[in-house]
Amino acid sequence: MDKFYNTIHKFNSKIIIRKNVNRINIIRNVIDNIGDYMSSPFRNFNINGEIYDIYNINTIQNNINQVVVGGGGLFHPCFKDEMNKIFRRDNYKIILWGCGLNEHGKISSSYDINMLKKCTLIGIRDYGVGLPWVPCSSCMHFAFDQKYSILNKIVIYEHKCFPISNTLPYPRMNNTSNFIDVINFLGTAEYIITSSYHGVYWSTLLNKKVFCKPFSSKFFYLKYKPIFIENYKINGEPDNFPNALIECRKANKAFYKTLLSLPS
C-alpha cells in the first residue's frame, strides 16, 4: 500500500529534496484506522524518510536530524509518554505537521507550551488556537479531484470505536476500509453522518454536507464546521465549503516548501 500512495503527488517537481537530511515521520501508523494511516505527509508529498508508528519510536536512530510529528490526534493523553520521549531528545529538529488535540469526552483541550517551544516549525490542524494552521495532508490525494455521481442522499461513515446507531437505515462504512473505497463512498452521497474526524474532513473536501456525532475535543477545532448532533436529533442544514480543498492544499504546499528550506 505504501508503494501505491507514494506515487501519486508530483505537483512541484522543481523543488529539490535536501539529500543530507535524515528525516523521519511519526504518526499512528496503523492500517485499520485509515485516517491515521493517510495523515502522514510522507505519503502525500515527495519526502524522503521512514514512517514510524508512535508506539515504535524506541528504534529511532541517532543520526536523525529532523522528526516530523503528525498528522493525527497525537496530542491525546494516551500518547503522552511517547510524545515526551520524542521531545526529550535534543539531537534533532522537531516539526509538527497536521497533528492536533484529541481528548475524548471533552469539547476543549490545550497544548503543552514547553513542547511547542522545542519545535523548529509548527503547523497544526486545529483552527483558531493561536498557532499556524496546517490541516491534514491527506487533502493532497488525487481522489479529491475526481467527479462522483450521487447515488445516495445520505450515508453513514463511522469510527470503528464510536459506531453510529444501527437504527438509521442508510448505507454505511467505517474507518477500517481502504482509502479509495472510503472516498468513493463519501463522494457518491449528498449528506454524510459521521463519528470520524477524517469522515468530517474528507466529506468537507468533497463539498458534502456533514452531520457529526463528536466524541473528542478534536472535532471542535475543525475550521470547516459540520452540524454537531446529539441523540441523532438533526436540527438545521449543514454548510458546504467549496473552497476548503483549495485552502487546505495551499496551506500544506506552503508548509512543505518551508520544511524543505530548513537547514540540515
Q: Coil, helix or strand for 108? A: coil
Task: Find the DSSP H helices in the chain.
Answer: 2-5, 34-38, 41-44, 80-88, 113-117, 179-187, 197-205, 244-261
pLDDT one-digit tens code per residue, 188-225 = 999 999 999 999 999 999 999 999 999 999 999 999 99
What class is the 2-140+246-261 domain?
Answer: alpha beta
Are the C-beta atoms of 17 and 42 separated by less than 8 Å? no
What average pLDDT does this structure show over 239-244? 97
pLDDT of residue 20: 57
- Position of cell 478534536? 218
- Beta strands (DSSP E) in 36-151 are 50-53, 66-69, 72-75, 93-101, 119-124
What average pLDDT does this structure show over 146-150? 97
| DSSP class of 159 | B
| DSSP class of 239 | P
Distance linking the first and last C-alpha atoms of the chain: 30
Q: Residue 188 corresponds to which cell in the numbers above?
A: 457518491
Q: Coil, helix or strand for 261? A: helix
Q: What are the structural domain ranges in the chain?
A: 2-140+246-261, 142-244
Task: Flag whether pLDDT at 17 surpasses 80.
Answer: no
pLDDT of residue 16: 37
Q: Which of 15-19, 20-24, 38-42, 61-65 has the lowest mean pLDDT?
A: 15-19
Task: Flag whether pLDDT at 232 surpasses 90.
Answer: no
Q: Cα separation of 74 and 25, whole Å?
A: 12
pLDDT of residue 236: 86
pLDDT one-digit tens code per residue, 97-112 = 999 999 999 999 999 9
Are the C-beta atoms of 48 and 17 separated by less than 8 Å? yes
Q: Higher confidence at residue 167 or residue 18?
A: 167
Q: Cα separation of 256 and 137, whole Å?
A: 10
Q: Coil, helix or strand for 70? A: coil
pLDDT of residue 235: 75
Long-range contacts (CB closer than 8 Å, 24 or more residues apart) made by 106-111: 106/216, 106/217, 107/214, 107/217, 107/220, 108/217, 108/220, 109/75, 109/217, 111/75
Q: Residue 47 corresponds to which cell in the numbers above?
A: 519526502
Give the dihedral of Cα atoms 113, 74, 126, 175; nearest 10 deg. -170
Nearest by Cα to 171 from 193, 143, 149: 193
pLDDT one-digit tens code per residue, 62-88 = 889 999 999 999 999 999 999 999 999
Helix (H) or strand (E) holding 173: strand 172-174
pLDDT of residue 13: 31
